[in-house]
Protein backbone atom coordinates (compact mmCIF):
# COMPACT_ATOMS: atom_id res chain seq x y z
CA UNK A 1 0.00 0.00 0.00
CA UNK A 2 2.74 2.44 1.00
CA UNK A 3 4.66 1.51 -2.14
CA UNK A 4 1.72 2.35 -4.39
CA UNK A 5 1.20 5.74 -2.73
CA UNK A 6 4.91 6.49 -3.03
CA UNK A 7 4.81 5.52 -6.69
CA UNK A 8 1.84 7.77 -7.25
CA UNK A 9 3.68 10.71 -5.66
CA UNK A 10 6.71 9.92 -7.79
CA UNK A 11 4.65 9.96 -11.01
CA UNK A 12 3.10 13.26 -9.91
CA UNK A 13 6.51 14.85 -9.38
CA UNK A 14 7.74 13.50 -12.71
CA UNK A 15 4.68 15.12 -14.26
CA UNK A 16 5.57 18.39 -12.54
CA UNK A 17 9.10 18.24 -13.97
CA UNK A 18 7.79 17.40 -17.42
CA UNK A 19 5.43 20.34 -17.54
CA UNK A 20 8.04 22.49 -15.70
CA UNK A 21 5.52 24.24 -13.50
CA UNK A 22 5.89 23.78 -9.76
CA UNK A 23 2.49 24.47 -8.35
CA UNK A 24 -0.25 22.55 -6.61
CA UNK A 25 -2.52 22.35 -9.65
CA UNK A 26 0.08 20.56 -11.76
CA UNK A 27 0.75 18.23 -8.86
CA UNK A 28 -2.91 17.32 -8.58
CA UNK A 29 -3.19 16.70 -12.32
CA UNK A 30 -0.05 14.55 -12.18
CA UNK A 31 -1.41 12.68 -9.19
CA UNK A 32 -4.63 11.87 -11.03
CA UNK A 33 -2.69 10.72 -14.09
CA UNK A 34 -0.48 8.61 -11.85
CA UNK A 35 -3.54 7.07 -10.24
CA UNK A 36 -4.91 6.23 -13.69
CA UNK A 37 -1.58 4.57 -14.60
CA UNK A 38 -1.52 2.58 -11.37
CA UNK A 39 -5.11 1.55 -11.95
CA UNK A 40 -4.24 0.29 -15.43
CA UNK A 41 -1.18 -1.57 -14.10
CA UNK A 42 -3.05 -3.12 -11.15
CA UNK A 43 -2.34 -6.68 -12.36
CA UNK A 44 1.35 -6.28 -11.60
CA UNK A 45 0.95 -5.36 -7.94
CA UNK A 46 0.78 -8.17 -5.43
CA UNK A 47 -1.47 -6.17 -3.11
CA UNK A 48 -4.83 -4.56 -3.64
CA UNK A 49 -5.13 -1.07 -5.05
CA UNK A 50 -4.50 1.36 -2.19
CA UNK A 51 -7.73 3.20 -2.89
CA UNK A 52 -9.69 0.14 -1.75
CA UNK A 53 -7.98 0.10 1.63
CA UNK A 54 -8.48 3.85 1.86
CA UNK A 55 -12.18 3.33 1.21
CA UNK A 56 -12.34 0.58 3.86
CA UNK A 57 -10.70 2.97 6.33
CA UNK A 58 -13.26 5.66 5.57
CA UNK A 59 -16.09 3.16 6.06
CA UNK A 60 -14.60 2.11 9.39
CA UNK A 61 -14.42 5.75 10.49
CA UNK A 62 -18.06 6.35 9.59
CA UNK A 63 -19.11 3.16 11.43
CA UNK A 64 -17.14 4.37 14.43
CA UNK A 65 -18.86 7.76 14.53
CA UNK A 66 -22.26 6.10 14.26
CA UNK A 67 -21.47 3.75 17.14
CA UNK A 68 -20.06 6.59 19.25
CA UNK A 69 -23.28 8.58 18.91
CA UNK A 70 -25.46 5.55 19.67
CA UNK A 71 -23.36 4.63 22.71
CA UNK A 72 -23.63 8.10 24.14
CA UNK A 73 -27.38 8.16 23.71
CA UNK A 74 -27.68 4.77 25.41
CA UNK A 75 -25.51 5.88 28.34
CA UNK A 76 -27.59 9.05 28.58
CA UNK A 77 -30.82 7.05 28.80
CA UNK A 78 -29.25 4.69 31.33
CA UNK A 79 -28.01 7.51 33.54
CA UNK A 80 -31.23 9.49 33.51
CA UNK A 81 -33.48 6.49 34.17
CA UNK A 82 -35.09 6.97 37.60
CA UNK A 83 -34.40 3.53 39.06
CA UNK A 84 -30.97 2.15 38.38
CA UNK A 85 -31.62 -1.52 37.62
CA UNK A 86 -28.51 -2.42 35.67
CA UNK A 87 -26.88 -5.84 35.45
CA UNK A 88 -23.19 -5.50 34.72
CA UNK A 89 -21.22 -8.49 33.52
CA UNK A 90 -17.65 -9.33 32.55
CA UNK A 91 -17.54 -11.66 29.57
CA UNK A 92 -14.88 -13.08 27.28
CA UNK A 93 -14.80 -12.35 23.56
CA UNK A 94 -12.60 -14.54 21.36
CA UNK A 95 -10.92 -12.65 18.54
CA UNK A 96 -8.83 -13.83 15.62
CA UNK A 97 -7.08 -10.56 14.81
CA UNK A 98 -3.33 -10.95 14.63
CA UNK A 99 -1.42 -7.70 14.61
CA UNK A 100 -0.99 -5.53 17.66
CA UNK A 101 -2.44 -2.45 16.02
CA UNK A 102 -5.57 -4.32 14.98
CA UNK A 103 -6.21 -5.46 18.54
CA UNK A 104 -5.54 -1.97 19.89
CA UNK A 105 -7.96 -0.53 17.36
CA UNK A 106 -10.62 -3.12 18.17
CA UNK A 107 -10.21 -2.48 21.90
CA UNK A 108 -10.53 1.27 21.42
CA UNK A 109 -13.60 0.84 19.24
CA UNK A 110 -15.22 -1.53 21.74
CA UNK A 111 -14.51 0.89 24.57
CA UNK A 112 -16.29 3.65 22.72
CA UNK A 113 -19.34 1.58 21.71
CA UNK A 114 -22.58 1.14 23.66
CA UNK A 115 -22.18 -0.23 27.17
CA UNK A 116 -18.84 -2.00 26.85
CA UNK A 117 -15.31 -1.41 28.17
CA UNK A 118 -12.32 -3.62 27.50
CA UNK A 119 -10.86 -4.65 30.85
CA UNK A 120 -8.11 -7.07 29.93
CA UNK A 121 -6.44 -8.53 26.87
CA UNK A 122 -5.24 -12.07 27.46
CA UNK A 123 -1.55 -12.79 27.18
CA UNK A 124 -1.84 -14.77 23.95
CA UNK A 125 -3.97 -11.93 22.48
CA UNK A 126 -6.74 -14.32 21.55
CA UNK A 127 -9.36 -13.17 24.04
CA UNK A 128 -10.63 -9.79 25.12
CA UNK A 129 -12.33 -9.50 28.52
CA UNK A 130 -15.10 -6.95 28.33
CA UNK A 131 -17.20 -5.27 30.98
CA UNK A 132 -20.77 -4.77 29.78
CA UNK A 133 -22.96 -2.38 31.71
CA UNK A 134 -26.31 -4.08 31.11
CA UNK A 135 -26.31 -7.70 30.19
CA UNK A 136 -29.82 -8.65 29.04
CA UNK A 137 -30.26 -6.27 26.14
CA UNK A 138 -26.59 -5.94 25.26
CA UNK A 139 -25.09 -9.41 25.16
CA UNK A 140 -26.38 -10.52 21.77
CA UNK A 141 -26.29 -7.08 20.21
CA UNK A 142 -22.69 -6.70 21.34
CA UNK A 143 -21.59 -9.84 19.55
CA UNK A 144 -23.05 -8.65 16.28
CA UNK A 145 -21.39 -5.25 16.71
CA UNK A 146 -18.09 -6.95 17.42
CA UNK A 147 -18.46 -9.01 14.30
CA UNK A 148 -19.15 -5.93 12.23
CA UNK A 149 -16.16 -4.09 13.75
CA UNK A 150 -13.89 -7.07 13.42
CA UNK A 151 -14.96 -7.54 9.82
CA UNK A 152 -14.34 -3.88 9.04
CA UNK A 153 -10.88 -4.01 10.62
CA UNK A 154 -10.04 -7.15 8.66
CA UNK A 155 -11.21 -5.42 5.52
CA UNK A 156 -8.71 -2.63 6.22
CA UNK A 157 -5.80 -4.91 7.04
CA UNK A 158 -6.27 -7.42 4.21
CA UNK A 159 -3.19 -7.06 1.96
CA UNK B 1 -26.23 31.81 6.34
CA UNK B 2 -25.08 33.45 9.58
CA UNK B 3 -28.20 32.15 11.31
CA UNK B 4 -27.48 28.66 10.05
CA UNK B 5 -23.85 28.82 11.16
CA UNK B 6 -24.75 30.21 14.56
CA UNK B 7 -27.39 27.60 15.16
CA UNK B 8 -24.87 24.89 14.26
CA UNK B 9 -22.41 26.37 16.77
CA UNK B 10 -25.06 26.63 19.49
CA UNK B 11 -26.28 23.09 18.78
CA UNK B 12 -22.83 21.48 19.03
CA UNK B 13 -21.93 23.36 22.22
CA UNK B 14 -25.28 22.57 23.85
CA UNK B 15 -24.92 18.89 22.98
CA UNK B 16 -21.41 18.92 24.42
CA UNK B 17 -22.55 20.54 27.66
CA UNK B 18 -25.42 18.06 27.98
CA UNK B 19 -23.11 15.09 27.55
CA UNK B 20 -20.59 16.50 30.02
CA UNK B 21 -23.42 16.93 32.52
CA UNK B 22 -24.51 13.33 31.89
CA UNK B 23 -20.94 12.24 32.65
CA UNK B 24 -21.05 13.97 36.02
CA UNK B 25 -24.47 12.52 36.88
CA UNK B 26 -23.29 9.08 35.78
CA UNK B 27 -20.18 9.24 37.93
CA UNK B 28 -22.31 10.21 40.92
CA UNK B 29 -25.05 7.63 40.37
CA UNK B 30 -23.34 4.46 39.23
CA UNK B 31 -22.42 1.94 41.93
CA UNK B 32 -18.83 0.89 41.20
CA UNK B 33 -15.65 1.89 39.41
CA UNK B 34 -16.33 -0.08 36.21
CA UNK B 35 -19.78 1.32 35.54
CA UNK B 36 -18.43 4.78 36.34
CA UNK B 37 -15.70 4.22 33.80
CA UNK B 38 -18.47 3.69 31.23
CA UNK B 39 -19.90 7.12 31.90
CA UNK B 40 -16.51 8.78 32.12
CA UNK B 41 -14.91 7.30 29.02
CA UNK B 42 -17.82 7.65 26.58
CA UNK B 43 -19.87 10.71 27.45
CA UNK B 44 -16.88 12.81 28.40
CA UNK B 45 -15.25 12.07 25.03
CA UNK B 46 -18.24 13.11 23.00
CA UNK B 47 -18.95 16.05 25.31
CA UNK B 48 -15.52 17.64 25.07
CA UNK B 49 -15.43 16.75 21.39
CA UNK B 50 -18.66 18.58 20.61
CA UNK B 51 -17.56 21.64 22.56
CA UNK B 52 -14.25 21.73 20.67
CA UNK B 53 -16.15 21.30 17.40
CA UNK B 54 -18.44 24.19 18.31
CA UNK B 55 -15.45 26.42 19.10
CA UNK B 56 -13.87 25.37 15.81
CA UNK B 57 -17.03 26.25 13.87
CA UNK B 58 -17.30 29.61 15.67
CA UNK B 59 -13.78 30.66 14.76
CA UNK B 60 -14.18 29.34 11.23
CA UNK B 61 -17.54 30.89 10.35
CA UNK B 62 -17.55 34.07 12.40
CA UNK B 63 -13.86 34.98 12.57
CA UNK B 64 -12.66 33.40 9.34
CA UNK B 65 -9.86 31.55 11.14
CA UNK B 66 -9.39 27.85 10.32
CA UNK B 67 -7.86 26.44 13.48
CA UNK B 68 -5.84 23.29 12.92
CA UNK B 69 -5.00 23.00 16.63
CA UNK B 70 -8.63 22.33 17.50
CA UNK B 71 -8.83 19.53 14.92
CA UNK B 72 -5.61 18.07 16.34
CA UNK B 73 -7.06 18.34 19.82
CA UNK B 74 -10.13 16.39 18.72
CA UNK B 75 -7.98 13.68 17.14
CA UNK B 76 -5.72 13.38 20.20
CA UNK B 77 -8.74 13.15 22.46
CA UNK B 78 -10.16 10.37 20.33
CA UNK B 79 -6.94 8.38 20.49
CA UNK B 80 -6.23 8.82 24.18
CA UNK B 81 -9.59 8.74 25.92
CA UNK B 82 -10.57 5.09 25.34
CA UNK B 83 -7.05 4.01 26.31
CA UNK B 84 -7.39 6.02 29.51
CA UNK B 85 -10.70 4.36 30.36
CA UNK B 86 -9.26 0.94 29.60
CA UNK B 87 -6.12 1.46 31.67
CA UNK B 88 -7.95 2.80 34.71
CA UNK B 89 -10.46 -0.03 34.80
CA UNK B 90 -7.72 -2.59 34.13
CA UNK B 91 -5.59 -1.24 36.96
CA UNK B 92 -8.63 -1.29 39.22
CA UNK B 93 -9.38 -4.89 38.35
CA UNK B 94 -5.84 -6.13 38.73
CA UNK B 95 -5.44 -4.43 42.10
CA UNK B 96 -8.46 -6.35 43.30
CA UNK B 97 -11.36 -3.88 43.27
CA UNK B 98 -14.55 -5.94 43.45
CA UNK B 99 -17.32 -5.19 40.97
CA UNK B 100 -20.71 -4.25 42.37
CA UNK B 101 -23.03 -6.93 43.77
CA UNK B 102 -25.34 -6.41 40.81
CA UNK B 103 -22.73 -8.02 38.55
CA UNK B 104 -24.06 -11.18 36.92
CA UNK B 105 -20.99 -13.01 35.71
CA UNK B 106 -17.23 -12.66 35.84
CA UNK B 107 -15.18 -14.58 33.29
CA UNK B 108 -12.01 -12.70 34.10
CA UNK B 109 -11.60 -13.79 37.74
CA UNK B 110 -10.39 -17.27 36.82
CA UNK B 111 -7.85 -15.96 34.35
CA UNK B 112 -6.37 -13.41 36.68
CA UNK B 113 -6.17 -15.96 39.48
CA UNK B 114 -4.38 -18.42 37.24
CA UNK B 115 -1.96 -15.78 35.98
CA UNK B 116 -1.19 -14.75 39.57
CA UNK B 117 -0.41 -18.33 40.53
CA UNK B 118 1.88 -18.79 37.57
CA UNK B 119 3.75 -15.53 37.94
CA UNK B 120 4.07 -15.22 41.68
CA UNK B 121 4.99 -18.47 43.38
CA UNK B 122 4.04 -18.40 47.10
CA UNK B 123 6.79 -16.83 49.14
CA UNK B 124 8.54 -18.93 51.70
CA UNK B 125 8.52 -16.47 54.55
CA UNK B 126 4.71 -16.30 54.56
CB proximity list for B31: less than 8 A, separation 6 or greater: A84, B100, B102
Q: Please, what sign has the CA dihedral across residues B108, B111, B113, B116? A: negative
Quote the CA–CA distance of A68 and A46 in Å, as a whole number: 36
Would you list which residues of chain B are within 8 Å, Cβ to Cβ, of chain A?
Answer: 18-19, 22, 25-26, 29-32, 34-35, 37-39, 41-43, 45-46, 79, 81-83, 85-86, 89-90, 93-94, 99-100, 102-109, 111-112, 115
**pLDDT (mean) for A27-47:** 89
For position A63, what pLDDT does the model report?
A: 86
Query: Do A71 and B89 lie within an 8 Å CB cutoff?
Result: no
Residue A70 touches chain B, beta carbons under 8 Å: no
The beta-carbon neighbor of A79 closest among B25, B94, B99 is B25
For position A14, what pLDDT does the model report?
A: 92
| Ranges A7-16, A34-43, A137-146, B117-126: which has the least confidence | B117-126
For position B125, what pLDDT does the model report?
A: 52
For position B126, what pLDDT does the model report?
A: 44
Q: pLDDT, tens digit, for every residue of A47-75? A: 888 888 889 889 988 988 888 888 788 77
For position B4, what pLDDT does the model report?
A: 86
Task: Sort out which chain B residues have CB atoms less than 8 A from A124's CB and list them.
Answer: none
Q: pLDDT, tens digit, for every residue of A91-148? A: 888 888 888 888 888 888 888 877 788 888 887 888 888 888 777 666 676 677 677 8
**pLDDT (mean) for A19-34:** 90
- The DSSP line for chain A is -HHHHHHHHHHHHHHHHHTT--SHHHHHHHHHHHHHHHHHTGGG-SS--HHHHHHHHHHHHHHHHHHHHHHHHHHHHHHH-SS-----EEEEEE----SHHHHHHHHHHHHTSTTEEEEEE-TTSSEEEEEES-HHHHHHHHHHHHHHHHHHHHHHH--
Task: Sort out which chain B residues have CB atoms less than 8 A from A72's CB and list them.
Answer: 19, 22, 42-43, 46
Q: Which residues of chain B have pLDDT under 50?
A: 126
Residue A112 touches chain B, beta carbons under 8 Å: yes
Query: Do B82 and A111 lie within an 8 Å CB cutoff?
Result: yes
User: Chain-wide mean pLDDT for chain A?
Assistant: 83
pTM greater than 0.80: no
| Reported ipTM exceeds the 0.90 cut | no
Amino acid sequence: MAFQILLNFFIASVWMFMSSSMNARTFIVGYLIGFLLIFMMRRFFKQRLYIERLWATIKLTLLFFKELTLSNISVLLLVLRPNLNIQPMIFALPTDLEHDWEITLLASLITLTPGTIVLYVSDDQRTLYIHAIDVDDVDDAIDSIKNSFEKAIKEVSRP
Amino acid sequence: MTVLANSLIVLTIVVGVIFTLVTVIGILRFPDVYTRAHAASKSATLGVLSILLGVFFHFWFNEGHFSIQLILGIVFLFITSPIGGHLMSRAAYLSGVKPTVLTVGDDLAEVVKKARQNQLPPREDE
